[in-house]
Amino acid sequence: MKRIAAVVVATALALTACSASVPDQRPPGTSQPNPAPGAGPGPKTSAPYPFGTVQQKAPAIENGQVPVVRRITTDKPYVFLTMDDGAVKDPDALKLMQQNGTHPVLFLNEKYVKGHEAYFKQILDATGATLGDHTVDHPNLKGKPFEFQRQEICADADDFQQSLGVRPSLFRPPFGNYDQNTLRAAAACGMRVAVLWTAAVNDGHVQFQAGDKLKPGDIVLMHFRKTFREDYTAFVEQAKKDGLTPVPLADFLG
């Protein structure tokens, strides 16, 4: 047991040391939708490619409907984290996210952001997270009239543009439930893709769709909940265990 612990510590140290020598490879003047790890004050981790550069394209919008993406097709050891809703504002979330460059997409609801803009803006600015649209009120959209759905999706993006200074273009339907009107409404609101997931973290445990490990290309769902620390830590540990590096989803949906 002692020996295993020593190896783990050595690996962690190696990661830290290694990252310090990896410079930010982004050309000067390039926009920074996803700052490279180390942009914040936390320990640095190595970047496998210059974050904020498109690695893969999203499927095209067809027939006025955004494509639905459940996982990213890649042979590289990458995994993608998403954080939903925004109901509980854990005061340690920023620090935790700075300690590990997980580059999540935050699919937020306006009803949870309202009055807490500074909390989320700080996270977005300091951690390389991407903002996503998750509707204003988190309704089950499936079966609802087009106009209702359009309003829920568009108003979320409009409000974030005003209050957070960013307009999202990635969308996640609440509960993962959608129909054709959802995909049309998302496109009408300027969304490029509807993002679902292939694994989730609940109560500090990673739940897999199949098997017992995360696989390259998995999109992982967690929430801003009371168990934020446990859930976040469980994801970081699982990714490490499975040899996967969390990278920005937006780079693979260019």
Q: By CB under 5 A, name the binding residues for Zn ion.
A: 84-85, 174
Residue 84 or 152: which CB sits closer to Zn ion? 84
- Single-letter amino acid, residue 179: D
Rounded least distance, CB 30 to Zn ion, Å: 32
Residue 45 or 135: which CB sits closer to Zn ion? 135
Rounded least distance, CB 85 to Zn ion, Å: 4
Residue 137 or 179: which CB sits closer to Zn ion? 137
In degrees, rounded to 5, the angle at the alpha carbon of residue 175 between the alpha carbons of residues 172 and 180 is: 65
Residue 136 or 206: which CB sits closer to Zn ion? 136
- The stretches of 101-249 forming alpha helices (DSSP H) are 110-113, 117-127, 146-163, 180-188, 228-241
Helices 146-163 and 180-188: angle between axes, nearest 10 degrees = 40
Rounded least distance, CB 87 to Zn ion, Å: 9
Rounded least distance, CB 138 to Zn ion, Å: 6
Q: What Å distances lie between residue 247 and 78, 101, 136, 164, CA to CA? A: 6, 8, 27, 22
Residue 85 or 159: which CB sits closer to Zn ion? 85
Main-chain phi, psi angles of 197, to 5 degrees: -155, 165
* Host H or E run for residue 218: none
Residue at shortest CB range from Zn ion: 84
Residue 38 or 174: which CB sits closer to Zn ion? 174
Rounded least distance, CB 84 to Zn ion, Å: 4
219-223 and 199-202: which strand pairing?
parallel
Rounded least distance, CB 45 to Zn ion, Å: 28
Contact by Cβ (8 Å): 48, 38: no
**CA distance from start to end of the chain:** 44
In degrees, rounded to 5, the angle at the alpha carbon of residue 56 between the alpha carbons of residues 198 and 124 is: 70
